[in-house]
């Protein structure tokens, strides 16, 4: 096993590593350092929680020399605003003993403020594709000096619909640059993007996509509906000594608000919620309170499933079975990080059995199923989408059933084709176009 002492890095970086308490590099950090320093295009694949950010930042910071130029030399693209803030903070910690200037740009905030910050200059620019493209198109941001392009969690960007911005950003960058891409999963769309814009990239893969995390104990409960799942959560979360810090994932924003309201009635101010409809300041504040321990429970959508590194999350709950198996891996990867252990709970319905089987196929293992507590109250309250089809007594047509054609033929008057207004047709018939061109008065006088 290597140590950071074996890496050829400057004293400033060594001091920062010592302050952070890092002693031994993770496998992806060992594999990536030499390849990134060589200047070749790199694609790194490693499961979540293995230190991918430090894997690409350590060699980049080692090669970044002091400069007073305004335009950035390193560009880092990430999918979410929260990840921008996290990466910026981490780079500041890594480069605390050097003169590296780092700036983050993202949507949801005043673009004019960010224009002023960009104009002051930076060495490393971290941003989401949408806001970064807006700044580049307005010519506020010049990308002609970029030497290294780093794309983190590119599969999430493509899922969020950022392909257009990514391709256009590539067109604005200088052709001679180093491309570095790190992700937990590799999809066909990512492969296509890489084949188009990368030059003979070196692949680093320290774990297969979908490999289960050994540090996470997994559980599965089968329940009939959403509010019965909420009842199980309320019952389990009463054990504060065990469930010290719980992150709860839901499928969409409406479910997040519903579950938050249900849990808030029981646990009050110790519960928080975050999703895409919340303002940027609200989201940042909720993450900070959860990270600090003010919130013991945080309800969220997949906006927090990728990249965010929060301290000591003991349990992750999934109140739905994700549609894409990889998302399950990213969700549970919020716990059991950096050598710690964690637990995850998957709460599914019989209708979600196929999705669960897809997750198990990806991980090549079965998620252990546990018996539902006997005293758990089965809720009769249903979500609109959980309501069963019904048949009215005097109307045998089921709800949502497609209606057939009418049983009678249309009346003759309803079969006529609409030819437009009658007035226009009559006028056109009465005033025909003159056959002979020439003087209008002559035509009128001698037309007979």
Q: Among all chains, which residue has been given the structure tokens 């437009």?
A: 420
By C-alpha distance, which of 126, 96, 106, 154 is closest to 284?
106
Whole-number pLDDT of residue 326: 78
How far apart CA 100 and CA 64 sit, in angstroms, is 8
By the 8 A CB rule, do 52 and 341 touch? no
Q: All domains of the chain, ordered by start, with CATH?
A: 4-205 (3.40.50.300), 216-386 (3.40.50.300)
Whole-number pLDDT of residue 197: 86
Separation in Å, CA 71 to CA 114, 146, 173, 199 = 14, 8, 12, 24
Q: What is the pLDDT along the chain (448 residues), one digit of tens a residue?
A: 577 777 888 899 989 988 888 878 888 888 889 999 999 999 888 766 667 888 899 999 999 988 889 999 999 999 888 889 889 999 999 999 988 999 999 988 889 999 999 999 999 999 999 899 999 998 899 999 999 999 988 777 777 778 888 889 999 999 999 999 887 777 777 788 888 888 888 888 875 544 556 788 999 999 999 999 999 999 999 999 999 999 999 988 899 999 999 999 999 999 999 887 777 778 888 888 998 889 999 999 876 656 566 768 899 999 999 888 878 887 888 887 766 788 999 999 999 999 999 999 988 889 999 999 999 999 999 888 888 766 566 665 555 555 555 556 666 666 666 666 666 677 677 666 555 555 555 555 555 4
Helix (H) or strand (E) holding 77: strand 74-77
Neighbours of 91 (CB within 10 A): 25
DSSP state of 304: G
How far apart CA 377 and CA 398 sit, in angstroms, is 30
Q: Which two tokens stand for residue 321?
A: 């079975």
Whole-number pLDDT of residue 439: 53
Q: What angle do CA 370, 249, 325 make, to 5 degrees?
A: 75
B/e letters for 284-297, b = 16+ CB within 10 Å, e = fewer, are eebbeebbeeebbb
Neighbours of 435 (CB within 10 A): 7
How far apart CA 31 and CA 37 sit, in angstroms, is 11
By the 8 A CB rule, do 259 and 240 touch? no
Whole-number pLDDT of residue 211: 52
How far apart CA 416 and CA 362 sit, in angstroms, is 60
How far apart CA 126 and CA 129 sit, in angstroms, is 10
Separation in Å, CA 357 to CA 188, 201, 411 = 22, 34, 55
**Secondary structure (DSSP) of 371-428:** PPPTTPPPP----GGGPPP-EETTEEEETTPPP---SSPPPGGGSS-----HHHHHHH
How far apart CA 183 and CA 255 sit, in angstroms, is 28
How far apart CA 355 and CA 118 sit, in angstroms, is 45
Contacts of residue 371, defined as CB under 8 A and 6 or more positions apart, other chains included, come to none
By the 8 A CB rule, do 42 and 194 touch? no
How far apart CA 448 and CA 437 sit, in angstroms, is 15
The alpha carbon torsion through 210, 214, 215, 219 (nearest 10 deg) reads: 80
How far apart CA 447 and CA 45 sit, in angstroms, is 88
DSSP state of 369: B
How far apart CA 133 and CA 126 sit, in angstroms, is 12
How far apart CA 91 and CA 97 sit, in angstroms, is 11
pTM of the prediction?
0.67
Alpha helices (runs of H) in 95-206, residue ranges in sequence order:
111-119, 129-137, 154-159, 163-172, 188-197
By the 8 A CB rule, do 230 and 262 touch? yes
DSSP state of 321: -
């Amino acid at each position: 096993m290597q140590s950071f002492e074996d890496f050829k890095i400057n004293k400033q970086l060594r001091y920062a590593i010592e302050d952070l308490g890092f002693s031994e590099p993770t496998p992806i950090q060992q594999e990536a350092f030499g390849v990134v320093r060589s200047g070749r295009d790199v694609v790194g694949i490693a499961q979540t929680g293995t230190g991918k950010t430090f894997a690409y930042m350590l060699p980049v910071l080692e090669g970044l020399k002091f400069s007073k130029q305004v335009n950035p030399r390193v560009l880092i693209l990430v999918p979410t605003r929260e990840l921008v803030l996290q990466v910026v903070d981490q780079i500041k910690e890594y480069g605390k003993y050097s003169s590296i200037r780092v700036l983050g740009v993202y949507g949801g905030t005043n673009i004019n403020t960010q224009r002023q910050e960009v104009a002051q200059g930076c060495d490393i620019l971290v941003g989401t594709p949408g806001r970064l493209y807006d700044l580049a198109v307005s010519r506020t941001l010049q990308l002609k000096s970029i030497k290294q392009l780093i794309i983190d969690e590119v599969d999430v960007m493509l899922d969020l619909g950022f392909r257009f911005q990514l391709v256009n950003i590539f067109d604005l960058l200088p052709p001679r640059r180093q491309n570095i891409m790190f992700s937990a999963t590799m999809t066909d769309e990512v492969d296509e993007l890489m084949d188009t814009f990368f030059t003979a990239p070196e692949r680093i893969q320290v774990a297969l996509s979908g490999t289960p995390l050994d540090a996470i104990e997994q559980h599965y409960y089968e329940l009939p509906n959403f509010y019965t799942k909420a009842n199980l959560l309320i019952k389990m979360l009463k054990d504060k000594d065990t469930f010290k810090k719980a992150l709860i994932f839901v499928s969409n924003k409406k479910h997040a608000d519903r579950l938050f309201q249900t849990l808030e009635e029981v646990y009050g101010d110790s519960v928080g919620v975050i999703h895409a409809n919340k303002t940027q300041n609200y989201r940042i504040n909720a993450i900070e309170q959860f990270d600090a321990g003010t919130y013991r429970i945080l309800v969220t959508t997949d906006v927090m499933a990728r990249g965010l590194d929060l301290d000591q999350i003991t349990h992750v709950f999934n109140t739905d079975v994700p549609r894409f198996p990889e998302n399950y891996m990213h969700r549970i990867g919020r716990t059991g990080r950096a050598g710690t252990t964690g637990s995850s709970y998957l709460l599914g319905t019989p209708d979600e059995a196929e999705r669960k089987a897809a997750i198990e196929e990806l991980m090549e293992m079965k998620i252990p199923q546990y018996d539902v507590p006997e005293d758990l109250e089965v809720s009769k309250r249903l979500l609109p989408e959980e309501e069963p089809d019904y048949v009215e007594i005097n109307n045998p047509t089921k709800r949502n059933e497609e209606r057939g054609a009418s049983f009678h033929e249309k009346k003759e008057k309803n079969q006529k084709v609409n030819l437009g207004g009658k007035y226009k047709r009559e006028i056109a018939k009465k005033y025909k176009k003159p056959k002979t061109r020439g003087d209008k008065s002559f035509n009128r006088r001698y037309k007979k």
